[in-house]
Amino acid sequence: MPDASVLAPVDVAAFDAKLAASRAASRVLATATTQQKDAALEAIAASIETAADRIVPANDLDLANGRENGLSQGLLDRLRLDETRLISLAAAVREVVGLTDPVGESVRGRALPNGLRIDQVRVPLGVVGAIYEARPNVTVDIAALALKSGNAAVLRGGSAAENTNRVLVELLQDAVESAGLPRGSVQTVDEFGRDGARALMRARGAVDVLIPRGSAGLIETVVTESTVPVIETGAGVVHVFLDESADESWAVDIVHNAKVQRPSVCNALETLLVHEAAADRLLAPVLGRLRQAGVTIHGDDAVRARFADAVPADDEDWATEYMSLDLAVRVVRDIDEAMDHIRTYSTHHTESIITNDLRNAERFLAEVDSAVVMVNASTRFTDGGEFGFGAEVGISTQKLHARGPMGLPELTSTKWLVRGSGQSRA
Amino acid sequence: MPDASVLAPVDVAAFDAKLAASRAASRVLATATTQQKDAALEAIAASIETAADRIVPANDLDLANGRENGLSQGLLDRLRLDETRLISLAAAVREVVGLTDPVGESVRGRALPNGLRIDQVRVPLGVVGAIYEARPNVTVDIAALALKSGNAAVLRGGSAAENTNRVLVELLQDAVESAGLPRGSVQTVDEFGRDGARALMRARGAVDVLIPRGSAGLIETVVTESTVPVIETGAGVVHVFLDESADESWAVDIVHNAKVQRPSVCNALETLLVHEAAADRLLAPVLGRLRQAGVTIHGDDAVRARFADAVPADDEDWATEYMSLDLAVRVVRDIDEAMDHIRTYSTHHTESIITNDLRNAERFLAEVDSAVVMVNASTRFTDGGEFGFGAEVGISTQKLHARGPMGLPELTSTKWLVRGSGQSRA
């Protein structure tokens, strides 16, 4: 149960009651059929489409408050839910309907010599908590994914989107109730403010897993302070290594795609490493193409010897997730120095080698310790949708439970079912 | 890196150096072949058999200190490593040689429409930390399992076994070195005392997972204080429910086996629930057999109406893991009341229903939220060995990453390998 010290006494009771309702709902959801859950998801999609007249004004209020509080244009854009975005949001919910329900799936099973039949099957985690920042679409995305995988969701969506989220959660609750499932299946603790987020982090036993989504600072806080198990999604200091034998057109296209296509996301390229024997051949076309796209190059001495206008790069550049049209570039002696660099600075998200050398490709795949390791492909492919998982829960950069793009199975646990006929242990 | 505040400055450097050696070793182990790892395990087994003249005197010293410090007979027994036990310990290591190496196993994989080939394969976790109490056999068990699954092990074994563990770790290091693997594959931080345990809990990034094994207090401390991800192994307030239709001989045998065969372990029965319509038929034979075995019955009013000498049971009994020849017994109205009771008091380890009613069997399997749920079988079967996993890492009572008996696959993470031919994202 939550740590009383972080909430006022009057709030402790209200908070506990909410989590108790989540637990009760999770029990119903755990044995709900796929048909029931899909019906609730259809009701949610329909409700988002038809309730624009309630959602948009609430969102306008949040946007007005955001402007007053000096939110950046980028944040205001992420906060905005207009009619077009509501239609895509409803479509995303319907996509979840189309995904395979992981609950009940057999993971492994066998008959033991004594006749016991043991089966490991997927079950929901139970109550899934999410702490995120002002992106109201995440409210619907996570609720939909949690529902499909049989989990109750408890959401803390950030004060900047409070009005939008309040309306969305009411709509979600009405929709799941209309499909015969408990309103407690989706709840928000936004009304408790920051204290609610902290209480969620201490709600060990009441919340089964906590997923932080957002800035590095938010994730670090949740990881450090939470006594509830956390799935860390996160930062990507992503590398591409151009090996000596890299194909020039692949190198140019992949580096451009990885850096430029969407620089603000975690699978975008941040540091390019180039084999010194390929530097003369590849740096000009690769960096030339990037500069046409407006990319600022931060280079080491070897890079600046060729591109005098590159910004000098230092240790801080190697460790930075720019999330912008900036790229750190370093010339390395060989694949070993490239992998040493990656070992030192990588956040273990995604790294790719561009090579035609089989031995180096296999060494890179085997030795680089990241969630996703690629040969001759753009790092932008590290994505639940691209991997065929449908909607996106997040990309786990931790090693326990889930690693890389998270699909619905990653929102489940397992349970062993043992069927006997009177067996006792010898 | 470890939190400097918990160690003296001189120790911080030594501690950091140890963990750096573990990380370096983990890189070698990650790509070691099964043959190399098995050769190291064979060397360990041989060394344990031949070095009794070094291990036993160190163990005698720990035993003498333990007696002086008033350790209980039970703890002294767990601390003891005599020649017979060393032979079984070596045999346990050889069993690990026989287990399938999980590293490299394909979990899932496919070709994407754009021609990318994606494969999720098992990889070692990296550096596995273990904190446990005075059981020197755990030092060897965990080192062997970690080694087979390609992980470096960092051990904190408790001051009561310090001399035994020091010798064991030296032997383990000599053995892995003789097989061409790094000494850093197995290390102890016992020399840092309690501070070493605390530093291990803060070594986020340097240690990939921490496994506490031991008392509920130890586990609680690790779970609460650790910033390193933890796999909680643990307490078992284990239930058997005798349904109305339970076969009498199955009920008698299974309850006796679950309670009496080894009462001090986590899968032993602690609370028996009996359907009121079966109480007259079953309580006499079931409890009669237990009393012959010396079990003390703690009963509710309905039990005490039949067995006047039963100790009155209260809420505390329902919540207690006795780990002794004591059993709490309660008569319930029906399966719903039985499952309510389990929901309230279970530690989500193992529960079993004895029944001939198919609907109730399936409801129990579906609705009881525990790591292992059984029909007509003794709870003592919740065990890695019994499940065919070979040696025992522990039984996870958490929902993330591992649930129930942990085998070698539970000591691994996964990694996505992506093989392309120049693909960029559209």
Tell me what pLDDT residue B33 has. 97
Contact B290, B260 (CB under 8 A): yes
- What confidence category does residue B413 fall into, taking pLDDT thresholds of 50, 70 and 90? very high
CA-closest candidate to residue A239, choices A276, A261, A269: A269
Helix (H) or strand (E) segment spanning residue B153: strand B152-156
Residue A187, class by beta-carbon neighbours within 10 Å (0-12 exposed, 13-18 middle, 19+ buried)?
A: buried
Tell me what pLDDT residue A2 has. 44
- What confidence category does residue B215 fall into, taking pLDDT thresholds of 50, 70 and 90? confident
Q: Cβ contact (<8 Å) for A420 and B257? A: no
Tell me what pLDDT residue A75 has. 86
Contact B210, B222 (CB under 8 A): yes
Q: Cβ contact (<8 Å) for B418 and A209? A: no
Q: Give the tokens for residue B368.
A: 């009881």
CA distance B131 to chain A (A): 18
Tell me what pLDDT residue B151 has. 98
Burial B194-211, CB ≥16 within 10 A → b, else e: ebbbbbbbbbbebbbbbb
Residue B19, class by beta-carbon neighbours within 10 Å (0-12 exposed, 13-18 middle, 19+ buried)?
A: buried
Window from A141-150, A230-239, A299-308, B416-425 with minimum mean pLDDT: A230-239
Coil/strand/helix, residue A157: coil
Closest chain B residue to A385 measured between Cα atoms? B112
Q: Residue A416: which of B254, B372, B415 has the nearest Cβ? A: B372
Total number of residues shown for chain B: 426
Helices (H), B103-161: 136-148
Q: Cβ contact (<8 Å) for A378 and B425? A: yes
Q: Which residue has the higher pLDDT, B278 or B205?
A: B278
Question: Which CATH code fits A238-381?
Answer: 3.40.309.10
CA distance A91 to chain B (A): 20
Q: Judge whether residue A31 has pLDDT over 90.
A: yes
Coil/strand/helix, residue A44: helix
Dihedral sign for Cα B30, B33, B37, B43, please.
negative
Tell me what pLDDT residue A1 has. 43
Q: What percent of chain A has pLDDT over 90?
A: 83
Task: Enumerate long-range contacts of A405-409, CB under 8 Å, 24 or more apart.
Answer: A405/A372, A405/B416, A406/A231, A406/A233, A407/A99, A407/A102, A408/A99, A408/A100, A408/A101, A408/A102, A408/A145, A408/A148, A408/A149, A409/A102, A409/A105, A409/A122
Tell me what pLDDT residue B1 has. 43
Task: Fill in the DSSP letter of residue B246.
Answer: -
Contacts of B386 in chain A (CB under 8 A): 112, 425
- What confidence category does residue B2 fall into, taking pLDDT thresholds of 50, 70 and 90? very low
d(CA A79, CA B412) in angstroms, rounded, equals 39
Tell me what pLDDT residue B10 has. 57
Write out the DSSP string of A20-40: HHHHHHHHHHHT--HHHHHHH
What integer is the mean pLDDT of B27-45? 97
What integer is the mean pLDDT of B41-69? 96
Question: Position of tokens 């070992």?
Answer: A343
d(CA B249, CA A258) in angstroms, rounded, equals 67
What integer is the mean pLDDT of B105-123? 96
Q: Which residue has the higher pLDDT, B37 or B231?
A: B37
CA distance A350 to chain B (A): 9
Tell me what pLDDT residue B116 has. 97
Tell me, rounded to whole angstroms, the distance of Cα A54 from its chain centroid.
Answer: 28
Q: Residue B387: which of A118, A209, A374 has the nearest Cβ? A: A118
Coil/strand/helix, residue A113: coil
Could you tell me the residue ranges of all domains in chain B? 4-231+406-418, 238-381
Query: What's the mean per-residue pLDDT of chain A?
Result: 93
Q: Which residue has the higher pLDDT, B262 or B74?
A: B262
Helix (H) or strand (E) segment spanning residue A85: helix A83-98
Q: Going by C-beta distance under 8 Å and a sequence separation of 6 or more, which residues neighbour residue B338?
A: B239, B241, B243, B273, B275, B332, B353
List beta partners, residue A152.
Answer: A127
Coil/strand/helix, residue A232: coil
Closest chain A residue to B29 measured between Cα atoms? A367
Contact B290, B240 (CB under 8 A): no
CA distance B374 to chain A (A): 5
d(CA A124, CA A84) in angstroms, rounded, equals 33
Q: What percent of chain B has pLDDT over 70?
A: 97
Contact A364, A375 (CB under 8 A): yes
Q: Which residue has the higher pLDDT, A6 or B352?
A: B352
- What confidence category does residue A10 fall into, taking pLDDT thresholds of 50, 70 and 90? low
| Strands (E) located in A71-223 | 106-111, 117-124, 127-132, 152-156, 186-188, 209-213
Q: Cβ contact (<8 Å) for B399 and A209? A: yes
CA-closest candidate to residue A73, choices A63, A83, A81: A63
Q: Cβ contact (<8 Å) for A425 and B372? A: no
Contacts of B29 in chain A (CB under 8 A): none
d(CA B284, CA B252) in angstroms, rounded, equals 10
**pLDDT tens digit sequence for B294-345:** 999 999 999 999 999 999 999 999 999 998 999 999 999 999 999 999 999 9
**pLDDT tens digit sequence for A103-122:** 999 999 999 999 999 999 99
CA distance B420 to chain A (A): 5
User: C-alpha angle B388/B392/B396, rounded to 5°?
Assistant: 100
Q: Cβ contact (<8 Å) for B399 and A257? A: no
d(CA A371, CA A397) in angstroms, rounded, equals 6
Residue A58, class by beta-carbon neighbours within 10 Å (0-12 exposed, 13-18 middle, 19+ buried)?
A: buried
Q: Judge whether residue A81 has pLDDT over 80.
A: yes
Question: Position of tokens 């006796």?
Answer: B256
The rounded radius of gyration (Å) of the Cα atoms in chain B is 24
Window from A89-98, B250-259, B327-336 with minimum mean pLDDT: A89-98
Contact B231, B209 (CB under 8 A): yes
Q: Which CATH number, 3.40.190.10, 3.30.1490.20, 3.40.720.10, 3.40.605.10, labels domain A4-231+406-418?
A: 3.40.605.10
Task: Fill in the DSSP letter of residue B230.
Answer: B
Q: Judge whether residue B171 has pLDDT over 50.
A: yes
d(CA A200, CA A214) in angstroms, rounded, equals 16
Q: Cβ contact (<8 Å) for A377 and B419? A: yes
Q: Judge whether residue B364 has pLDDT over 90.
A: yes
- What confidence category does residue A392 fall into, taking pLDDT thresholds of 50, 70 and 90? confident
Burial A376-401, CB ≥16 within 10 A → b, else e: bbbbbbbbbebbebbbbbbbbbbbbb
Window from A422-426, B15-19, B135-139, B343-347 with minimum mean pLDDT: B135-139
Window from B166-180, B227-241, B244-258 with minimum mean pLDDT: B227-241
Task: Fill in the DSSP letter of residue A354.
Answer: E
Task: Fill in the DSSP letter of residue B185.
Answer: G
Contacts of B352 in chain A (CB under 8 A): 418
Contact B393, B410 (CB under 8 A): yes
d(CA A212, CA A221) in angstroms, rounded, equals 9
- State yes or no: ipTM above 0.85: yes
d(CA A269, CA A264) in angstroms, rounded, equals 10
Contacts of A257 in chain B (CB under 8 A): 424-425
d(CA B104, CA B96) in angstroms, rounded, equals 17
Question: Position of tokens 């950069």?
Answer: A397
